Structure 1
Amino acid sequence: MDYKVIDLDDVPVTDLSEIEGVPPDLDIKPVGDQLGLSEMRATVWYFEPGEEIQYHAHSEQEELYFVVQGEFSLKLGRSGEAEYVDADEGSFWVAKPEIGHGHRYVGDDQGIVLSVGAPPVEDPGLDPHELDD
């Protein structure tokens, strides 16, 4: 099939805290898996106040983020040059390969972020401080 349509309500929640060795302990909906994506990953992330994705980088994967709901504090940029930026509903940001990025939910209710990454390889987070030239 060349196309597929799903409803987010029909995508089961994955609790990352139940998967050993996979930080962070957040709930996600792996929409890309449900859509059968092969050239990218797509995930909806759910955050409670104070939850975050630690500052990290990927060796190959470029990631695009979109804030669906809530307010976030982002840490973006190379080690030693990173800056903090506020992002709220409707904001996009991108992290190219080997560029540090992380975000903390600073709102009062639930925060929701859509992330899309390509290529869809297993690309575990790298410590941006170890990528200094």
Structure 2
Amino acid sequence: MSLYSVASLDTVESRELDELEPTLLPVGLDLQPEQTRPSVWHYDRGEESTYHRQDEQEELYVVLEGTVDVTVERETERDVVTLTEHEFMVVPPESWRQLEAVEESRVLAIGAPNVADDSIVEDETTARS
């Protein structure tokens, strides 16, 4: 392993993923971290992430630009938190979550541990009431 790795958002190639509105900037591919899984998501106003939870990963969200509403649900509790530029939020793996852009936004999402995508998406068995 090298002493460190560096990446710049200006040089990371963006990816449009099927059925996902926000654009992925996979900084982790350039950085190759061992313990974390970083990504930057670019949202246009009104775009939202898939309603999901993680199997193992705790996720840290950092709003780099803009404003997002984060809906977080667990068991019978539900909160909507508005995050603005330079605000942080940590969500445990078992909490369902969805981010929605109030305005054009960029959000750094860091999952740990660094496991292959362990996102669990809502389906008919987990649908919100």
**Common topology (TM > 0.5):** yes
Unmatched 5+ stretches in structure 1: 18-22
Greater fraction helix: 1
CA distance 1:127–1:79, shift in 2 (3 Å): farther
Unmatched 5+ stretches in structure 2: none
Partner of 2:114: 120
Greater fraction strand: 2
Native 8 Å contact 2:12 2:30 kept in 1: yes
Q: TM-score if structure 1 supplies the norm length?
A: 0.83
Native 8 Å contact 1:54 1:102 kept in 2: yes
Query: How well do the aligned residues superpose, as a CA RMSD in angstroms?
Result: 1.8
Partner of 2:81: 85
Q: Residue 107 of structure 2 aligns to which amino acid in structure 1?
A: V
Shift of 1:126: 4.2
The aligned runs of 1:54-133 (5 Å cut-off) are: 54-107=50-103, 110-122=104-116, 123-127=118-122, 130=126
Q: TM-score if structure 2 supplies the norm length?
A: 0.85
Percent identity of equivalent pairs: 34
Native 8 Å contact 1:59 1:126 kept in 2: no
